[in-house]
Amino acid sequence: MSLYLSYGKLLIDQLDLAITQKYEEAERFRRTEHLAACKLQKWWKKILLKLKDRKRTRASTMVLGFMRKVVSTKKVELIENHKKTMKLRKQYGKHVTPLQALWRGYYSRKTIMDFYKRKALLEAVVKKNEETRSHLHKMHNLQLRMERWRRHSYMANARKSIHFLISTRAREGIPENVIEKTAEEAAALKRKKRHTVEPLVIVQPLPSPRRYKNYVPPDDIECFGPFRRKESVIEQKNRPLEPTLRVSTSYNITERERKKDKQESWIKCIQKPMKFATASSKCTNYDRTLWGHTEYNPRDFCNKTIRYESQCKNKLPFISQVPVIPLFDRLGKSYAERSKLIK
């Protein structure tokens, strides 16, 4: 059985082997056919593609050619137009540019920087400056004139007030009392023009002082200037003497009397309470310079370098300047001891 089995296995194996070989052969054949078919297909596809490409290429070439033609035509047109434009611009530029420059200049001067306005402004400034200068010059002259007038009037007033002392046109007589001037004389003075020069009158020299007591101005000579009338002079001279009890008083007698009255009223009135300042804690004590304690007792009122404060421990004991009292001596007491007791 095993032999048959093995023989059967062998047959089967052989069959398998033959089948396998057949399959392999068939496979090889199929492969060959496949390859051949592929080749054939490849060859045919290639031809087909070439045919297709040819068509496409032709079509695309036609399209591209057409587009290129259009684009280049347009380019050429543009270039030609540009050339024409430049030519025209060059041609008209000679005439138009000056017009434009003129307009632009005018426009900028009018709006951006108005030179006309600026020119007018500067002319107005120059004119105004001249006016201002002349006005200030006039004001300055007026001020100087005012100053001169003020000084002149000041000097004239001063001259009038000290006329009696410095006048070189003194006339003999006695200075006139202004109050006694009559109304006619006052009116005559008012009517008198300014700056009139009075005629110089040759005056006889004054008599010597000894003779002056009985001197009366002669009738024929008229006294010019601020002098009293002759009649009032004569009247005063002839007035009888009326002596009074009034004695000569000093110039400031009234002030002295007023002061005296004040003092008396101070004495009589009740004294007001004194008000003292609220002293701060930092204030220094009032140092009575007249009653200090130094070597020189009382303190000499002189230079700081000479005065100096003595130390507390070196303070001398109180020495009385009062003369010795016999009673104290008898009792054996002294001020120094008393001062110690008080302390």
Partner 1 sequence: MSQRQVLLVFEQYQKARTEFVQTVAELSTRPQNIETLQATGVMQLLRPLLLDVVPTVQQTAALALGRLANYNDDLAEAVVKSDILPQLVYSLAEQNRFYKKAAAFVLRAVAKHSPQLAQTVVDCGALDALVICLEEFDPGVKEAAAWALGYIARHNDELAQAVVDAGAVPLLVLCIQEPELSLKRIAASALSDICKHSPELAQTVVDAGAIAHLAQMILNPDSKLKRQVLSAFAQISKHSVELAELVVEAEIFPAVLTCLKDSHEVVIKNTATLIREIAKHTPELCQLIMNAGGVAAVVDYIGDTKGNVRLPGIMMLGYVAAHSETLAMAVIVSKGVSQLAIILSDEQEDHIKAATVWALGQIGRHTPEHAKAIAVSNVLPKLLQSYISPDSSEDLQTKSKKALKNILQKCVYLPALEPLLQEAPPNILKHVVAQYSKVLPNDPSARRMFVTSGGLKKIQEIRSEPGSALQEHIHEINKCFPEEIVRYYSPGYSEALLQRVEGFKPSTEMQTS
Contact set with partner 1 (CB under 8 A): 118, 121-122, 125-126, 128-133, 135-136, 139-140, 143, 146-147, 263, 266-267, 271-272, 274-280, 283-284, 286-287, 289, 301, 303-304
Closest distance of CB 110 from partner 1, Å = 16
Smaller CB distance to partner 1: residue 60 or 132? Answer: 132
Q: Which residues of 70-98 are buried (b: 16+ CB within 10 A; e: fewer)?
A: eeeeeeeeeeeeeeeeeeeeeeeeeeeee
Q: List 227's β-bridge partners, or say none.
A: 175
Q: CB-wise, 183 or 283, nearer to partner 1?
A: 283
Q: Which two tokens stand for residue 260?
A: 């005296």
Give least dist CB 308 to partner 1, A: 14
Shortest Å, Cβ 298 to partner 1: 15
| Closer residue to partner 1 in complex, CB, 48/121 | 121
Structure token digits, residue 94: 């000679």
> Reduced to 3 states, what is the DSSP secondary structure of residue 227?
strand
Question: What is the enclosing helix (H) or strand (E) of 168?
Answer: none
Q: Are 176 and 224 in contact (CB under 8 A)?
A: no
- The answer, yes or no, to whether the previous bond of 298 is cis (omega within 30 of 0) is yes
Q: What minimum distance in Å lies between the beta carbon of 278 and partner 1?
A: 6
In the complex, minimum distance from the CB of residue 108 to partner 1, in angstroms, rounded to a whole number: 15
Do residues 142 and 186 lie in contact, with contact meaning Cβ atoms separated by under 8 Å?
no
Cβ distance to partner 1 smaller for residue 182 or 305: 305
The residue (of 230 and 307) whose beta carbon lies closer to partner 1 is 307
Q: What is the DSSP letter of 306?
A: T
Please tell me the distance from the alpha carbon of residue 226 to that of residue 173, in angstroms, as a whole number. Answer: 10
Say if CB 322 and CB 336 are below 8 A apart. Answer: no
Question: Cβ of residue 139: shortest distance to partner 1, in angstroms?
Answer: 5
Q: CB-wise, 248 or 271, nearer to partner 1?
A: 271
Using CB atoms within 10 Å of the CB of residue 173, give its burial: 0 to 12 exposed, 13 to 18 middle, 19+ buried: buried
First CA to last CA across the chain, in angstroms?
Answer: 169
Task: Choose between 171 and 307: whose C-beta lies nearer to partner 1.
Answer: 307
Our CB check for partner 1 shows the closer of 59 and 121 to be 121
Q: Is the dihedral of CA 128, 134, 140, 146 positive or negative?
A: negative
